[in-house]
């Protein structure tokens, strides 16, 4: 039996098994380790070999050989967003060892289980080795040429029949920045906005919530800066497992400053085990808890009144909502005692600087955007934004989810957050040197449907696309409900698991209805086995980021250049080459790559990463992405040791990287030659803009309903403007007389951009960088100096309000705190009320009395295919499990380590998932937790046989998303993975 | 000569298992053999603490005392190593070890034990330093290269310390004094017959 070992028992267990006894000592969660070396499925082959044989086979690639020169290559871990530097030892083109990267200011030599085992990725026993195609239900090996030709022909056929929007393009947070950018550009040339990536399902609501509050959707400070905090609240996040190396900074901060670490979570996480205070809440009550904290803050006058007066708009409306959340009501709804929240409130508001750290516990909710906005309001009320040790420390998920978001792999953005309005398209068309009309011609015309107006091509190119949370609904719903020309018919997926999206039984139907499915990934992923497709399915082996060059951006916006460690293994190819070849096949490669250099790659010419980054630099004014030239980024990697551990800054005296912040975190204003240092802490008025200082961004005009929404009496150090000001355009420049400071060349460029309307050229569209250069001289932020918006009037809930989850365990609260009325979100119906009402009417909470929530394990990542295929990791977690409280287990006759059935309210009657039980007080009574990395079982059945031979991960298991249910954020269509209901029984 | 020791700061250890996979990666340790592992007590409850455990390279190592073929030896750095050429896989050392360090591959069809495997403190074995022969039996020899054990070097929170006992004692002591708490040097009394007083 596979169980997890504990206290010194693994070896004892193995021994006792050989002696025919089974030790039955206490079992802890981590165990699930092979006690007896007996393992399932794909492992059987491995364990049936004698150890000596395994050893010999593995040793072929391992260990540094004497007498052969060792090359050291620096790259970045491909798992979470901390961005740990990996140093690879390479001999004769083989990656033979990993060494600690002591110089990196971020990880200082360290790793977690995943980072310490990344070498296996390019060992790759279980990688997809060649392009494959499904022929009548059988996988067949094909050549790259055949694959590209057949896929391209089919895409053109779908385009002809149903339109460009009928091919859904899914990019990846595992791309390099350059890959992500090329994918977004590819979608623009193809003519659709239905291009998305993992940010949709991890922090899309953070990006929307935070950007709508103070300007940009990104972590404001950094992992390292947490060392300055005196109080940290970690709410809806478990960084000890999801971002282990970040704990190095958190725990050191806790020790040096004797800082208060407070964890607010439904689960007593491994992070909570290291906190000073743990607050257990009912899943789905984040807003009541935040308002409950702020109730004490306002009641006791602990708010930062000066900060609010100078830099915040609308706090009075927040105050009015908070007033409703007295301690009694918070306890009734969230289950948290008032006294505890009073203690938390006092620490957070008075022992400053304070930071709020959050992850997907906040974001993956039907009310995700509102949650994030409430979190921001707590920071604003206490004046904890824009200084060292403060801020919204949003820990993002994947290694380049920040970068892929920056590059516009999003249904409503072009690269660098320009949006998709006509002006944005015109800007990028200029950067790309392709006529705007060309892009317009590529988009579909959308006929009037179901009472909705028709859209012209021009309107359609400005309409956000289908999201990865709803693609299968866009395949299977009646055509009139999908707000585009036709349903989705084809899907091209790069680097994304199929088990990461909720409502898996529905996505299986979607998969089966697709005419074309292309999965481009180092592994087959769950897409390969999830459905009963028989044809029209292609798997393309893609190289990992260790097999190519390119930059990636960690959570704190530091951009790090990774160098190729080894050539792509097997028949793998780089993202760059595949996108280039697809563009060639579809007939727009010459235009798309006209200003990008090609270099000789494994299979022929492919885009050069440096050249792609230079193009990004030429157009990325809107987020300060222009100063990060490849040369500067490479210099940072070569000089990592010079950057300070806490400030992330290199000493001014250094000739190469002097004064820079590590990784040139955006905004890094102006051209590379200006040598702006990047911005470590966003919106920091205590520093000069040239030194990485700034203000809140003026994105929403200068006044709202008669009130001034520019900052009052607050400005960044050294600014010549000593009050709020709007974003910088030529019109503003002319009024200030600053246009005289532009050089002739800058002025000529601005006139070319502006044409008849030079006054409208702004800091975002000026391709010369003159406006930004002058701004830096004057010490002003190019994007203006506004108040942050406590109330975001353009969002569905301008003041965040509590709404019960769609499937609530408390139907009694639904009438008072209902979900939003049905509406349409991003081309799809969003039936909040209908589904919630049906759940209440059917008394779902009676038959599904346990709240189900999900999260991460340290050994695995994302959908988990890559990590479950790594034997060094897979050995540590061999079974999918559900954590269940001892009382709930006892009631059901469930024993620790036993098999259980779990089923949910949206599953077809009598279908069940099957997994192991972990009975633990880690979860509260009435709450169950599952890790989300498993796949390869579906409704209790092992799907191993459906993988192409030799590519099945070592460990398979039931996916939590077979159980998760309906529920979508009204702003971003974020899925609800954190609160649903289930029932559990012993199997 | 330095007296090499391991020290795991249980107030820092988050059970991320980097030490475990770093060891697997460095030495290509096969599935089923765990030279290092992380043990968690009070799992899921207040007071939960984790400790990373491996061979502690004891003073007067009990494994050596019981070995019938005398395969153990202690290096000048006080690292306890063994010879796989001498080992007969009897398993006595497993019973003697207070830390559960010795591991045995299963060989043959009747579950018989192969030669014992354990943490080498990244110091290889009796074969010549840094040779393929040494690597095949014991893994890499970082100590001979002037490096410390990879598990401690890669520890995510710098909970696991390796090096000269006096140096890591000093690091731990300063840490505890600065932060005001510390649950002690786990296993030290058993392994080294001493403890760290702060």
pLDDT for residue A462? 98
- List pLDDT tens digits, range A451-496: 999 999 999 999 999 999 999 999 999 999 999 999 999 999 999 9
Contact A439, A472 (CB under 8 A): no
| DSSP-assigned beta bridge partners for residue B4 | B164
Residue A42 pLDDT exceeds 50: no
Q: Which chain B residues are closer than 8 Å to A109 by Cβ?
A: 153-154
CA B70 to the chain's CA centroid: 20
Tokens for A213?
């509050």
| pLDDT level of residue A62 (50, 70, 90 thresholds) | low
Which of A696, A707, A873 shows the shortest CA–CA distance to A781?
A696
Choose the mutation target among A22, A37, A47, A51 for the interface with B, i.e. most B CBs under 10 Å: A51
Of B14, B34, B112, nearest to A270 by CB-CB distance is B14
pLDDT for residue A573? 98
CB neighbour burial string for A950-979, b if at least 16 within 10 angstroms, e if fewer: ebbbbbbbbbbbbbbbbbbbbbbbbbbbbb
Contact A363, A203 (CB under 8 A): yes
- List pLDDT tens digits, range A508-531: 999 999 999 999 999 999 998 999
B 57-86 residues with CB < 8 A to A: none
Of B19, B44, B153, nearest to A922 by CB-CB distance is B44
Of A28, A47, A270, nearest to B32 by CB-CB distance is A47
Which CATH superfamily hosts domain A73-122?
ADC-like domains (2.20.25.90)
Residue appearing with tokens 């020899």: B141
Alpha-carbon distance of B198 to B190, in angstroms, equals 19
CA distance B39 to chain A (A): 5
Residue A8 pLDDT exceeds 90: no
- Domains present along chain B, CATH in parentheses: 4-192 (3.30.70.20)
Is the Cβ of A706 closer than 8 Å to some Cβ of chain B?
no
Alpha-carbon distance of A575 to A577, in angstroms, equals 6
Tokens for A238?
């478990």
Alpha-carbon distance of A164 to A424, in angstroms, equals 20
- List pLDDT tens digits, range B113-133: 899 999 999 999 999 999 999
Give ∠ CA A645-A649-A653 in degrees, rounded to 5.
Answer: 120
Q: What is the pTM of this model?
A: 0.94
Alpha-carbon distance of A208 to A794, in angstroms, equals 11
- List pLDDT tens digits, range A923-943: 999 999 999 999 999 999 999
Is the Cβ of A338 closer than 8 Å to some Cβ of chain B?
no
Q: What is the mean predicted confidence (pLDDT) over A45-60?
A: 39
Residue A40 pLDDT exceeds 70: no
Residue A447 pLDDT exceeds 70: yes
- CATH (residue range A220-394): 3.40.228.10
- List pLDDT tens digits, range A233-265: 999 999 999 999 999 999 999 999 999 999 999
pLDDT for residue A669? 98
Which of A363, A391, A361, A382 shows the shortest CA–CA distance to A280?
A361
Alpha-carbon distance of B114 to A50, in angstroms, equals 10
User: Angle A286-299/A315-323 helices, nearest 10 degrees?
Assistant: 100
Q: What is the mean predicted confidence (pLDDT) over A611-636?
A: 98
Residue A234, SS3? strand
- List pLDDT tens digits, range A780-802: 999 999 999 999 999 999 999 99
Q: Which chain B residues are closer than 8 Å to A11 by Cβ?
A: 34, 94, 100-104
User: Angle A338-350/A286-299 helices, nearest 10 degrees?
Assistant: 70
- List pLDDT tens digits, range A104-135: 999 999 999 999 999 999 999 999 999 999 99
**CATH topology of A73-122 equal to that of A220-394?**
no
Mean per-residue pLDDT over chain B, rounded: 95
CA distance A874 to chain B (A): 9
CA distance B173 to chain A (A): 13
Q: What is the mean predicted confidence (pLDDT) over A141-150?
A: 98
Residue A279: phi, psi to the nearest 5? Answer: -115, 115
Tokens for A902?
């779990």
| pLDDT level of residue A51 (50, 70, 90 thresholds) | very low
Residue A917: phi, psi to the nearest 5? Answer: -100, 135
- List pLDDT tens digits, range A835-853: 999 999 999 999 999 999 9
CATH 3.30.360.10 assigned to A132-199+401-616:
no
Residue A48 pLDDT exceeds 80: no
CB neighbour burial string for A631-649, b if at least 16 within 10 angstroms, e if fewer: ebbbbbbebbebbeebbbb
Percent of chain A with pLDDT over 70: 94
Residue appearing with tokens 């420049």: A733
Query: CB pairs below 8 Å between A and B: how many?
Result: 211
Q: In what order do the strands lie in the sheet with A516-521?
A: A138-141, A132-135, A537-541, A516-521, A490-494, A167-170, A195-196
Residue A593, SS3? coil
Residue A93, SS3? coil
| pLDDT level of residue A594 (50, 70, 90 thresholds) | very high
Choose the mutation target among A44, A116, A246, A259 for the interface with B, i.e. most B CBs under 10 Å: A116
CA A28 to the chain's CA centroid: 30
Q: Which chain A residues are closer than 8 Å to B21 by Cβ?
A: 113-114, 116-117, 872-873, 876
Residue A32 pLDDT exceeds 60: no
Alpha-carbon distance of A796 to A485, in angstroms, equals 26
Residue A135 neighbours by CB distance under 10 Å: 13
pLDDT for residue A34? 34
Tokens for A501?
């999206």
The CA-based dihedral angle spanning residues A625, A626, A631, A636, taken in that order and rounded to the nearest 10 degrees: -40
Is residue A433 classed exposed, middle or buried when 0-12, 13-18 and 19+ CB atoms within 10 A define those classes? exposed
pLDDT for residue B130? 92
Domain boundaries, chain A: 2-59, 73-122, 132-199+401-616, 220-394, 679-789, 811-986
Contact A213, A80 (CB under 8 A): no
Mean per-residue pLDDT over chain A, rounded: 93
Residue A552 neighbours by CB distance under 10 Å: 32
Residue A972 pLDDT exceeds 60: yes
Alpha-carbon distance of B33 to A659, in angstroms, equals 48
Alpha-carbon distance of B72 to B65, in angstroms, equals 9
Which of A528, A530, A533 shows the shortest CA–CA distance to A514?
A533
Taking every pair of C-alpha atoms in chain B, what is the biggest distance, in angstroms?
Answer: 55
pLDDT for residue B107? 80
Residue appearing with tokens 């701004």: A775
Q: Which chain A residues are closer than 8 Å to B178 by Cβ?
A: 255-256
| pLDDT level of residue A7 (50, 70, 90 thresholds) | very low
Q: Which chain A residues are closer than 8 Å to B104 by Cβ?
A: 11, 14-15
Residue A389 pLDDT exceeds 90: yes
Q: Which CATH architecture has domain A811-986?
A: Beta Barrel (2.40)
Q: What is the mean predicted confidence (pLDDT) over A326-338?
A: 97
Give ∠ CA A600-A604-A605 in degrees, rounded to 5.
Answer: 55
Residue B179 pLDDT exceeds 50: yes
Q: What is the mean predicted confidence (pLDDT) over B68-97?
A: 97
Q: What is the mean predicted confidence (pLDDT) over B6-21?
A: 97
Count H helices, E strands: chain A?
A: 36, 36
Q: Which chain A residues are closer than 8 Å to B27 by Cβ?
A: 62
pLDDT for residue A27? 37
Which of A958, A883, A886 shows the shortest CA–CA distance to A928?
A883
pLDDT for residue B135? 95
Pairing between strand A980-986 and A899-903? antiparallel
Q: Which chain A residues are closer than 8 Å to B107 by Cβ?
A: 50-52
Residue A466, SS3? coil
Q: What is the mean predicted confidence (pLDDT) over B12-28?
A: 97
Percent of chain A with pLDDT over 90: 93
Q: What is the mean predicted confidence (pLDDT) over B52-72?
A: 97
Residue A11 pLDDT exceeds 80: no
Residue A1 pLDDT exceeds 70: no
Which positions ≥6 away from A803 have C-beta within 8 Å? A366, A367, A370, A817, A818, A819, A820
Which of A528, A475, A536, A483 shows the shortest CA–CA distance to A506?
A475
Tokens for A396?
């993002």
Q: What is the mean predicted confidence (pLDDT) over A171-192?
A: 98
Region class of A353: left (phi > 0), else alpha (psi between -120 and 50), else beta: beta
Give ∠ CA A974-A979-A981 in degrees, rounded to 5.
Answer: 130
A 891-930 residues with CB < 8 A to B: 920-923
DSSP string for A922-951: TBPTTEEEEES---EEETTEE-GGGSPTT-
Q: Where are the beta strands (DSSP E) in chain B?
A: 4-8, 36-41, 49-54, 72-74, 80-82, 106-107, 112-113, 160-164
Tokens for A299?
């009641």
Alpha-carbon distance of A538 to A246, in angstroms, equals 38
Is the Cβ of A5 closer than 8 Å to some Cβ of chain B?
yes
pLDDT for residue A911? 97
pLDDT for residue B96? 97
Alpha-carbon distance of A487 to A484, in angstroms, equals 7
The secondary element (H helix, E strand) that includes residue A439 is helix A436-442
- Which of A65-74, A183-192, A885-894 is predicted with the least confidence, judged by mean pLDDT? A65-74
């Amino acid at each position: 039996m596979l169980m997890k070992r504990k206290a010194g028992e693994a070896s004892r267990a193995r021994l006792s098994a050989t002696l025919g006894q089974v030790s039955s000592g206490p079992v802890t969660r981590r165990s699930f380790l092979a006690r007896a070396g007996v393992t399932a499925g794909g492992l059987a082959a491995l364990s049936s070999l004698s150890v000596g044989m395994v050893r010999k086979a593995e040793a072929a690639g391992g260990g540094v050989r004497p007498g052969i020169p060792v090359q050291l290559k620096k790259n970045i871990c491909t798992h979470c967003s901390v961005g740990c530097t990996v140093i690879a030892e390479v001999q004769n083109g083989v990656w033979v060892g990993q060494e600690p990267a002591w110089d990196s200011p971020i990880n200082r030599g360290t790793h977690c289980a995943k980072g310490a085992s990344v070498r296996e990725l390019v060992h790759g026993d279980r990688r997809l080795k060649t392009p494959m195609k499904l022929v009548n239900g059988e996988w067949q090996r094909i050549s790259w040429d055949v694959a590209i030709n057949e896929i391209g022909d089919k895409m053109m056929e779908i385009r002809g029949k149903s339109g460009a929007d009928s091919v859904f393009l899914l990019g990846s947070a595992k791309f390099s920045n350059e890959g992500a950018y090329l994918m977004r550009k590819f979608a623009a040339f193809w003519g659709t906005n239905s291009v998305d990536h993992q940010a949709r399902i991890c922090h899309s609501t953070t990006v929307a919530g935070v950007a709508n509050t103070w300007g940009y959707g990104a972590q404001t400070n950094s992992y390292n800066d947490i060392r300055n905090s005196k109080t940290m609240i970690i709410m809806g996040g478990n960084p000890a497992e999801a971002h282990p190396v970040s704990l190095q900074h958190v725990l050191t901060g806790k020790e040096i400053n004797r800082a208060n670490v407070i964890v607010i979570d439904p689960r007593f996480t491994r992070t909570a085990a290291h906190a000073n205070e743990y607050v257990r809440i009912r899943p789905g009550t984040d807003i009541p808890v935040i308002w409950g904290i702020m109730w004490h803050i306002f009641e006791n006058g602990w708010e930062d009144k000066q900060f609010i007066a100078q830099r915040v708009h609308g706090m009075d409306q927040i105050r009015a909502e908070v007033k409703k959340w007295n301690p009694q009501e918070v306890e009734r709804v969230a289950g948290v005692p008032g006294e505890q929240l009073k203690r938390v409130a006092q620490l957070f508001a008075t022992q400053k600087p304070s930071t709020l750290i959050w992850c997907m516990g906040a974001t993956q909710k039907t009310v995700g955007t509102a949650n994030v906005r409430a979190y921001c309001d707590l920071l604003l009320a206490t004046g904890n934004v824009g200084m060292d040790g403060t801020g919204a420390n949003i820990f993002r998920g994947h290694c380049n989810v920040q970068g892929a978001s920056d590059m516009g792999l999003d249904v409503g953005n072009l690269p660098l957050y320009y949006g998709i309005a006509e002006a944005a398209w015109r800007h990028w068309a200029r950067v790309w040197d392709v006529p705007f009309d060309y892009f317009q011609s590529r988009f579909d015309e959308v006929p009037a449907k179901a009472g909705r107006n028709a859209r012209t091509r021009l309107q359609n190119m400005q309409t956000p696309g289908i999201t990865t949370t709803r693609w299968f609904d866009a395949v299977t719903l009646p055509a009139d409900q999908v707000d585009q020309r036709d349903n989705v018919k084809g899907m091209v997926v790069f680097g994304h698991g199929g088990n990461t999206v909720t409502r898996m039984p529905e996505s299986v139907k979607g998969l089966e209805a697709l005419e074309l499915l292309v999965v481009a990934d180092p592994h087959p992923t769950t897409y390969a086995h999830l459905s009963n497709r028989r044809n029209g399915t292609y798997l393309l082996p893609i190289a990992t980021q260790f097999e190519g060059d390119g930059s990636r951006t960690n959570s704190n916006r530091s951009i790090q250049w990774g160098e190729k460690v080894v050539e792509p293994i097997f028949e793998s190819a780089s993202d760059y080459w595949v996108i280039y070849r697809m563009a060639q096949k579809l007939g727009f490669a010459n235009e798309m790559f006209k200003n990008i250099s090609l270099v000789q790659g494994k299979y022929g010419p492919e885009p050069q990463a440096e050249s792609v980054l230079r193009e990004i630099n030429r157009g990325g004014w809107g987020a300060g992405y222009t100063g990060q030239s490849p040369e500067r980024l490479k210099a940072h990697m070569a000089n990592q040791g010079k950057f300070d551990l806490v400030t992330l800054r290199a000493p001014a005296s250094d000739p190469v990287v002097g004064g820079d912040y590590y990784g040139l975190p955006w905004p890094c204003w102006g051209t590379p030659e200006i040598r702006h240092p990047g911005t470590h802490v966003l919106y920091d008025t205590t520093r000069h803009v040239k030194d990485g200082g700034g203000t809140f961004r003026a994105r929403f005009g200068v006044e709202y309903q008669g009130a001034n929404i520019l900052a009052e009496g607050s400005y960044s150090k050294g600014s010549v403007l000593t009050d709020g000001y709007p974003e910088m355009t030529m019109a503003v420049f002319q009024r200030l007389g600053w246009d005289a400071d532009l050089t002739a060349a800058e002025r000529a460029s601005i006139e070319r951009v502006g044409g008849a309307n030079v006054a409208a050229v702004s800091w975002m569209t000026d391709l010369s960088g003159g406006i930004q250069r002058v701004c830096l001289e004057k010490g002003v932020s190019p994007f203006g100096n506004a108040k942050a918006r406590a109330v975001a009037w353009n969002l569905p809930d301008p003041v965040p309000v509590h709404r019960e989850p769609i499937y609530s365990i408390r139907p009694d609260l639904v009438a008072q705190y209902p979900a939003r009325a049905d509406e349409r979100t991003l081309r799809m119906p969003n039936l909040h009320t209908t589904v919630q009402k049906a759940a209440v009417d059917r008394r779902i909470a009676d038959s599904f009395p346990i709240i189900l929530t999900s999260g991460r394990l340290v050994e695995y990542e994302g959908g988990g295919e890559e990590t479950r295929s790594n034997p060094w990791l897979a050995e540590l977690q061999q079974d999918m499990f559900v954590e269940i409280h001892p009382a709930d287990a006892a009631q059901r006759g469930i024993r620790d380590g036993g098999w259980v059935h779990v089923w949910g309210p949206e599953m077809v009657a009598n279908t069940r998932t099957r997994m192991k039980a972990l009975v633990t007080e880690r979860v509260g009574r009435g709450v169950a937790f599952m890790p989300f990395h498993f796949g390869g079982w579906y409704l209790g059945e092992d799907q191993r046989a459906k993988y192409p031979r030799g590519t099945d991960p070592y460990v398979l298991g039931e996916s939590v998303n077979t159980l998760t249910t309906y529920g979508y954020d009204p702003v971003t269509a974020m899925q609800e993975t954190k609160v649903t209901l289930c029932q559990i029984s012993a199997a | 000569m330095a007296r090499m020791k391991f020290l795991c700061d249980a107030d820092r250890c988050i059970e991320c298992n980097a030490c475990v996979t770093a060891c697997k990666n460095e030495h290509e340790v096969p599935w089923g053999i765990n030279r290092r592992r992380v043990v968690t007590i009070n799992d899921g409850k207040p007071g939960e603490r984790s400790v990373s455990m491996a061979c502690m390279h004891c003073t007067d190592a009990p494994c050596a005392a019981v070995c019938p073929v005398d395969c153990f030896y202690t290096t000048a750095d006080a690292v306890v190593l063994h010879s796989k050429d001498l080992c007969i896989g009897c398993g006595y050392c497993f019973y003697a070890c207070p830390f559960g360090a010795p591991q045995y591959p299963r060989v043959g069809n009747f579950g018989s034990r192969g030669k014992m495997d354990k943490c080498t403190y990244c110091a290889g074995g009796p074969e010549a330093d840094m040779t393929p022969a040494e690597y095949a039996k014991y893994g890499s020899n970082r100590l001979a290269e002037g490096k410390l054990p990879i598990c401690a070097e890669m520890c995510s929170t710098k909970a696991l310390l390796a090096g000269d006992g006096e140096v890591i004692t000093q690091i731990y002591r300063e840490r505890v004094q600065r932060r005001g708490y510390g649950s002690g040097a786990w296993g030290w009394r058993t392994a080294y017959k001493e403890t760290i007083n702060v």
